[in-house]
């Protein structure tokens, strides 16, 4: 197997042998009605969906949650202040529904909003937190999604206080309820990302998953928006998952290859797999890939790592991460308009000296043998190749390897002709970096040169000498800090790579590093 070193296991600060005490050690899987039904939800949607998921094998494959989204309630609270369900939509009532779902083998979840009104205009929970949590639990729900529309003032400290209050309530219940937090999405598109980064530092402490950015498309929309999950890999750990939103796999605008990519990318990220589609209407080919055991195992891998980018060249996005049994994942997305092949060298995905690896194609199950590089042949336009790699023969070391990029500007640390700079991603070897256990950062072209901080703050590549000005710590804040000056790596406006006084989660100092790098918690 690949030898990963203790630092992998400690990445994110969680030791695997405590996993059993974590409420949601692997990403939740299941169904939510929103993308397919929006406010048109009702009892039969959930009953029919549940029966269909039993019959078509989705439940057996692990999709065991059924979550109600917005618009399930009446427009008014009851005289005693409690929430009440809409009796036309739910004629038998929600306790009946949760019981029905549990008898089929599902865990039911419900939606509410941290503010005064939900996003759809229904009563919000602000000021009613304790009562609403007790009500949801008494109705049989075991999971709460807390949206963040219509907060009284909308400041970051206010979100923190309200989400913190929900955390205290839900985590003290017996049993505790799973807490899905939408707070980060409300800060994701600001010109200054400090608040977004700040929210991301507390959501993993409060709950089990957090919606970090915009919604995936609802059924009648084609307003596409880039998914920005890759910026947040460092926050994920067993028990907490970045949530890039639903698998809306029956969207009319997606080809089959795009749907399969959607699923494979979410699994690569170890993201929640919550299907939002009309499940009784899904075709057999849809069920077939959604129940792919090998890809679900990648999503549910106990290390819970979010894969990170190895390279981006405008056509191919390459992602990689370690898996708990010592294997390595390789995912290649073809963004291009025609089918094409792509090769990735072992050094790009951090595989040290090994003669060869066994390559399992997770779509087909076929096994092959690769030396020095892995080639994905004829990846369909907008399709995704996904491989599990195991070394053949002796153990071999894996080094966290990939791009180092500013998560605001998306420029990438680049070496070219002896100069380093922050540049756009082009997929060259000069943009692929090793983050070694000894704190050094080395480009894959020249393992003898280290990222070096000079007096005055200029950063260059120089021969590795084992000195502290060549050793860097990756902090939970996203800062990359010199062990010599304790200053932070910084992107200057002219693309210069320097160090400067560490600022608080500032746009110019927050970076994404390869998954598996040790993360220093505050």
Q: What residues line the site for ligand GAL (CB under 6 A)?
A: 34, 69-70, 111, 118-120, 147, 149, 182, 211, 215
Closest approach of Cβ 184 to ligand GAL, in Å? 11
Min dist. Cβ of residue 481 to ligand GAL (A):
34
Query: How near is the Cβ of 420 to ligand GAL at its closest, in Å?
Result: 39
Cβ burial of 409 (10 Å; 0-12, 13-18, 19+) is: middle
Q: Compute the least distance from the CB of residue 71 to ligand GAL, in Å.
A: 7
Residue with tokens 């746009």: 507
Least separation in angstroms between CB 327 and ligand GAL: 33
Q: What separation in angstroms does the CA of 464 have from each of 47, 60, 248, 332, 448?
A: 63, 52, 48, 32, 6
Taking a C-beta distance cutoff of 8 angstroms, is the pair 68, 143 a contact?
no
Choice between 160 and 211, CB closer to ligand GAL? 211
**Residue placing its CB nearer to ligand GAL in the complex, 183 or 267:** 183
For 258, phi then psi, to 5°, come to -70, -40
Shorter beta-carbon distance to ligand GAL: residue 70 or 129: 70
Q: For residues 274 and 319, which CB has a smaller minimum distance to ligand GAL in the complex?
A: 274
User: Please, which residue, 70 or 491, has the CB nearer to ligand GAL?
Assistant: 70
Q: Which is nearer to ligand GAL, 227 or 499 (CB)?
A: 227
Query: What's 158's DSSP letter?
Result: H
Q: What's the min distance (Å) between Cβ of 67 and ligand GAL?
A: 10
* Interatomic CA distance for residues 116 and 128, integer angstroms: 10
Closest approach of Cβ 428 to ligand GAL, in Å?
A: 37
When the beta carbons of 212 and 260 are compared against ligand GAL, the nearer one is 212
Contacts of 472 (CB under 8 A, 6+ apart): 435, 439, 440, 441, 451, 480, 481, 482, 483, 489
| Phi, psi of 63, deg, nearest 5 | -80, 85
The answer to whether 324 and 363 are in contact (CB under 8 A) is no
Phi-psi region of 476 (alpha: psi -120 to 50; beta: other; left: phi over 0): alpha
Residue 329 belongs to what H/E stretch? strand 328-334
Instruction: Please state the closest distance from residue 208 (CB atom) to ligand GAL, in A.
Output: 16
Would you say 211 or 388 has its CB closer to ligand GAL?
211
Angstrom distance (rounded) from CA 404 to CA 422: 9
Burial readout 127-160 (b: 16 or more C-beta within 10 A, e: otherwise): ebbebbbebbbebbbbbbbbbbbbbeeeebeebb
Between 111 and 136, CB nearer to ligand GAL: 111
Nearer to ligand GAL, 196 or 405 (CB): 196
Least distance between ligand GAL and beta carbon 147 (Å) = 5
Residue 51, Cβ density class (10 Å: 0-12 exposed, 13-18 middle, ≥19 buried): middle
Phi, psi of 385 (to 5 degrees): -95, 140
The Cα 272–Cα 139 span in angstroms is: 24
Task: Find out whether the peptide bond into 175 is cis, omega within 30 degrees of 0.
Answer: yes
Closest distance to ligand GAL from the beta carbon of 112 (Å): 10
Q: In angstroms, what is the minimal distance from the CB of 30 to ligand GAL?
A: 14
Judged by beta carbon, residue 69 or residue 506, the one nearer ligand GAL is 69
Residue pair 249/262 in contact (Cβ under 8 Å)? The answer is yes
- For 60, half-sphere exposure in the C-beta direction (CA atoms, 13 angstrom radius) is 10
């Amino acid at each position: 197997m690949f030898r990963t070193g203790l630092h992998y296991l400690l990445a994110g600060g969680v030791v695997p042998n405590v996993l059993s005490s974590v409420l949601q050690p692997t990403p939740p899987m299941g169904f939510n009605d929103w993308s397919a039904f929006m406010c048109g939800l009702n009892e039969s949607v959930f009953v029919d969906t549940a029966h269909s998921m039993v019959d078509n094998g989705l439940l057996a494959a692990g999709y065991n949650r059924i979550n109600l989204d917005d618009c399930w309630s009446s427009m008014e609270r009851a005289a005693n202040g409690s929430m009440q369900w809409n009796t036309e939509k739910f004629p038998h009532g929600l306790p009946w529904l949760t019981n029905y779902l549990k008898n089929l083998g599902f865990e039911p979840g419900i939606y509410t909003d941290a503010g005064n009104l939900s996003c759809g205009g229904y009563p919000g929970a602000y000021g009613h937190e304790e009562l609403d949590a007790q009500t949801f639990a008494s109705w049989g729900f075991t999971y709460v999604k807390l949206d963040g529309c219509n907060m009284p003032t909308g400041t970051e400290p206010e979100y923190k206080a309200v989400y913190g209050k929900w955390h205290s309530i839900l985590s003290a219940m017996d049993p505790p309820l799973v807490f899905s937090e939408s707070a980060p999405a409300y800060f994701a598109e600001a010109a200054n990302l400090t608040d977004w980064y700040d929210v991301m530092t507390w959501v993993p402490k409060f709950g089990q998953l957090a919606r970090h950015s915009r919604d995936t498309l609802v059924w009648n929309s084609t307003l596409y928006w880039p998914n920005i999950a890759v910026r947040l890999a460092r926050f994920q750990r067993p028990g907490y998952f970045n949530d890039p939103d639903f698998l809306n796999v029956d969207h009319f605008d997606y080809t089959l290859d795009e749907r399969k990519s959607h699923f494979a990318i979410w699994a690569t990220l170890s993201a929640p797999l919550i299907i939002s589609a009309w499940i009784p209407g899904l075709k057999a080919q849809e069920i077939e890939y959604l129940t792919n055991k090998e890809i679900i195992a990648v999503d549910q891998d106990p290390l819970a790592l979010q894969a990170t980018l190895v390279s981006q060249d405008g056509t191919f996005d390459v992602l990689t991460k370690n898996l708990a049994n010592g294997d390595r994942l390789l995912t290649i997305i073809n963004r291009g308009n025609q089918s094409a092949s792509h090769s990735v060298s072992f050094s790009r995905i951090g595989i040290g000296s090994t003669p060869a690896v066994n390559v399992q194609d997770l779509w087909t199950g076929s096994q092959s043998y690769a030396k020095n590089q892995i080639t994905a042949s004829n990846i369909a336009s907008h399709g995704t190749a996904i491989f599990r790699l195991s070394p053949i023969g002796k153990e071999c070391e894996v080094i966290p390897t990939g791009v180092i990029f500013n998560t605001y500007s998306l420029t990438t640390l680049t070496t070219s002709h002896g100069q380093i700079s922050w540049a756009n991603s082009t997929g060259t070897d000069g943009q692929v970096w090793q983050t070694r256990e000894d704190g050094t950062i080395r480009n894959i072209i020249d393992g003898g040169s280290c990222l070096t901080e000079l007096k005055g703050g200029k950063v260059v590549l120089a021969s590795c000498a084992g000195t502290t000005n060549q050793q860097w710590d990756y902090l939970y804040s996203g800062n990359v800090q010199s062990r010599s000056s304790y200053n932070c790596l910084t992107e200057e406006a002219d693309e210069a790579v320097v160090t400067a006084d560490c600022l608080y989660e500032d746009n110019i100092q927050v970076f994404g590093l390869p998954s598996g790098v040790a993360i220093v918690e505050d």
